[in-house]
Amino acid sequence: MDTLNILYVVASMLIFASIMTSTLSARLGVPLLLFFLAVGMLAGEEGVLGIEFAEYNLANFIGQAALACILLDGGLRTSLQSFRVGLKPAVTLASWGVLATVMALGVFATWLLDVDWRLGVLMAAIVGSTDAAAVFSLLRNGGVKLNDRVQATLEIESGANDPLAILLVTAMIALNLDPAGQSVGDILMMLVSQIGIGLVLGLLAGWALSKLLPKVHLADGMYAILIMSAGMIVFGFTNLMGGSGFLAVYLAGVIIGNTKVRATEHVLRVMDSFAWLAQAVLFVVLGLLVQPSSILQVLHYSLFIFLFLLFVARPIAVTTSLLPFRFGFREIGFISWVGLRGAVPITLAIIPVTMQVPGADLAFNITFGVVIFSLLVQGASIPMMSRLFRVWVPTNDEPKAEHEIWVGDQANITLYEFEVKQGAFAIGRHPQAISSKFNTDQVSLFALVRHNKLVKVTEDTILKMGDVVWYAMRGDDAKSVAKIFNNSATQYQKNSEFYGDWLLSPHARIADLPFYNLATRSLANNSRLPKPVANAFDVFTVPPAAGSLAGIDDKLIDALTQAKNQTVEEYMMQHFKTEPVKGDEVHLNDTWSLIVRDVDHRGRLRGVGLKNKTKAESSR
C-alpha cells in the first residue's frame, strides 16, 4: 500500500511541477513542452529523484493514447474555414513533403553516422514528420497571430502527416529485420490502407457522432468524456482495421468541432484540460525514459542532423511542395522554419527499440536530441521569425474572452468579455452607449466588473480604465466593439504600420479613389482631398499630410490608369495566386501597396488598406 501511495505522490508531483513551470516558460520564452521533458529527465534515473524507468512498451502505450487525445482536441478546434485555404498545400506537405524530407535526411544520416542505409533512412523517417502536439501548442499559445494561410497549412499538415511517417517507420523496421521479405507492392498497399481506411473511418465516425450529439442529453461534464471515449474507440478500431488511427481521430474531431450544438461547447472547454494533461504526462514519461548521459554522447550527431533538417531537408521539401500552390517565398521560408519536432518522433523512436532493431538505441538517443534542439531553436523563435518573414497579422481587434451559453439544443447566446484599456474610446461612456453604431438589439450589456466586483449599472454609470465588461451579441460585431475598448492610439499605430493609414472599400472603383486623383494630377504636395470622391473610403482616418504621398511615379500612374474601371477587389484578386487572407499584399510600385485587412468566410474582401512603405519605415 505504501508503494502505491508513493507512486500517487510522485506521479502527481511531477505533473504539478510541470504545470507550475508554465509561468517560467512564458517569462523565458522557452516552449512549455521542453519544461515537461526537463521535469521527467530530472526525476529520472540520472536525475534528482533517481527513478528507474525503462518500460518502453508502457511509454509507447502512453504516447499513442496521449497523441490521440491531442489530435482529437486539435481537430475539434480546427475550423473548416482553414481547410479552404490550407487543405491542398497541407496534404502535399503531409505526403510528398514527408517523403522528400526522409529521402534527403536519410542520405545525410547514413553518411554522417557511417551506418547501413536502412538504419539511416529509418532514423530519417522517425524525425521526418512535424509534431501535432508541438505545433498546436506553440502556434496557438505562442503569443503571435499568423496569417490564416500559414496557420492552416501548418496545423493541417501536422495532423495529417502521421500516416506516411508511421508507414515509413514500419517499412524501414521491416527492412532492417527482414530485408528479403519486403517488396515495393507491400509498402504501397500499406500506404493505401493506412490513408484510405483512416480517411473513411474518421469521416464516418465524425459524421455519426455529430448526428448523435444533439439527441443526447447529459450533464455538462459528461459530453467531453463521451467524445473522448468515442475518439479512442475510433483510434483503436481504425488501427485494428489497418488504417491510420491518428488520421481518423483528427478528422473525426474536425467534423464534430464544426457541428455547432449544445454539446460541442462543453467538449471544447474540458478537452482543453485533457489535451494539456496528455501533453504533460507524455513529455514527463518520455523524459523519465531517457538517460541524459546517453544523449550527451551523441549530441553532436543530433545537432548536425537538426541543422541539416532545418536548413536543407525541410526547405527542399516545403519549397517543392508549396511552389505549385503559388505560396510566397516569405511564407515558404517561415513554414520551412517551423517544422517542429516533438512527441511524435520520440514515440516513433520507441517502436524499433521494442522490436529490437539493431542500432535502435542510437536512433532513439539522437532523435531525443533533435527534438530538444527543435523545441529550443524553432519553438522559442516563432514570434521573432513570424515578424522576420512578415507572416504575422495584428491581433488587437479581438475580445478578451468569449463563452457560448446554450439556451436550447440548437440555440445559443455568445458572451464576449472586453477590458477597458488606457486611452480607449470607451472611457467616460455609458456601457450600454459605447457607440452610436450599435443598439441594444445588437450589443446587450450583460455585466460590468470593477476591481473584481460586480457593479450595478445605473443611468450615471460610466466606464473607467480597467473595467471589465461582458456583452451578449448577435452577429459579427465583436471585433468592432473590441476596437472601442482597446487603446485607440496604440491600436491605430499598430494597424497603420501594418495596413497603412487608409482603409479602402473593396467595392470602390480605382478611378473614384482620392489616391487615384491625387496620383494622376501629380498632387503629391497637396494635402487637400477632392471632396466629390472622398466617400470612396469607408474610413479615411488621416488626411494625407505633406510628403505622405511620396513615391508616386510613372509605374504607379500607369498601373492605376489601366485598372481605373476595376474595383479595388477586382484589381487585387487578379494579382492573387491563392485564396486571399488577412495580410496579403499587392504592390502598386516600390512604395505603395494594397493590403487585405479582412476577408469573409467565402474568401471575399471586406476591407483593404493602402500603405506607403516609405512613410511607415520613416515613422519607426
pLDDT of the residue at 369: 92
Q: In the chain, how many domains are there?
A: 3
Domain that holds residue 600: 500-523+547-612
| 592 grid coordinates | 505603395
With respect to residue 47, please indicate whether it lies within any of the assigned structural domains.
Answer: no
CA distances from 354 to 58, 143, 351, 414, 462 (A): 10, 39, 5, 50, 66
Residue 546 DSSP label: T
Question: DSSP E strands: which ranges in 303-392?
Answer: none
What CATH number did the domain enclosing 248 receive?
1.20.1530.20
577 with 457, same domain: the answer is no
> Where residue 529 falls among pLDDT bands split at 50, 70, 90?
very low
Which of 9, 17, 7 shows the shortest CA–CA distance to 41? 17
On average, the pLDDT of the chain sits at 80
What CATH number did the domain enclosing 565 receive?
3.30.465.10
Q: What percentage of the chain reaches a pLDDT higher than 70?
A: 82
Question: Mind listing the pLDDT tens digit for each residue in 102-122?
Answer: 999 999 999 999 999 989 999
438 with 351, same domain: the answer is no
Which of 75, 94, 81, 78 shows the shortest CA–CA distance to 251? 75
With respect to residue 14, please indicate whether it lies within any of the assigned structural domains.
Answer: yes
Q: Residue 525: is its pLDDT beyond 50? A: no
> Where residue 530 falls among pLDDT bands split at 50, 70, 90?
very low
Question: Mind listing the pLDDT tens digit for each residue in 328-368?
Answer: 889 999 999 988 888 788 888 888 988 889 999 999 999 98
With respect to residue 495, please indicate whether it lies within any of the assigned structural domains.
Answer: no
For residues 53-63, average pLDDT = 84
Contact 386, 318 (CB under 8 A): no
pLDDT of the residue at 521: 59
Contact 168, 128 (CB under 8 A): yes
- Inter-axis angle of helices 245-257 and 262-289, to 10 degrees? 150
The most confident of 271-280, 344-353, 429-438, by mean pLDDT: 344-353
388 with 413, same domain: the answer is no
With respect to residue 539, please indicate whether it lies within any of the assigned structural domains.
Answer: no
> Where residue 252 falls among pLDDT bands split at 50, 70, 90?
very high
Which domain-ending residue is among 393, 411, 428? 393
Which domain-ending residue is among 470, 489, 508? 489
Question: Mind listing the pLDDT tens digit for each residue in 373-404?
Answer: 998 888 878 888 888 898 888 766 678 777 77
67 with 109, same domain: the answer is yes
Q: Residue 523: is its pLDDT beyond 70? A: no
Give the chain's length. Answer: 620
Parallel/antiparallel/unpaired status of strands 592-599 and 585-587 = antiparallel
590 with 449, same domain: the answer is no
Q: Residue 141: is its pLDDT beyond 70? A: no
With respect to residue 107, please indicate whether it lies within any of the assigned structural domains.
Answer: yes
163-167, 497-501, 558-562, 615-619: the lowest-pLDDT one: 615-619
- CB neighbourhood size of 296 (10 A): 12
Contact 18, 284 (CB under 8 A): yes
32-41, 303-312, 576-585: the lowest-pLDDT one: 32-41
pLDDT of the residue at 288: 84
Contact 39, 49 (CB under 8 A): no
With respect to residue 319, please indicate whether it lies within any of the assigned structural domains.
Answer: yes
With respect to residue 462, please indicate whether it lies within any of the assigned structural domains.
Answer: yes
For residues 572-588, average pLDDT = 85
For residues 86-114, average pLDDT = 91
- CB neighbourhood size of 3 (10 A): 7
For residues 176-182, average pLDDT = 74
With respect to residue 528, please indicate whether it lies within any of the assigned structural domains.
Answer: no
Which domain-ending residue is among 370, 393, 416? 393
What CATH number did the domain enclosing 424 receive?
3.30.70.1450
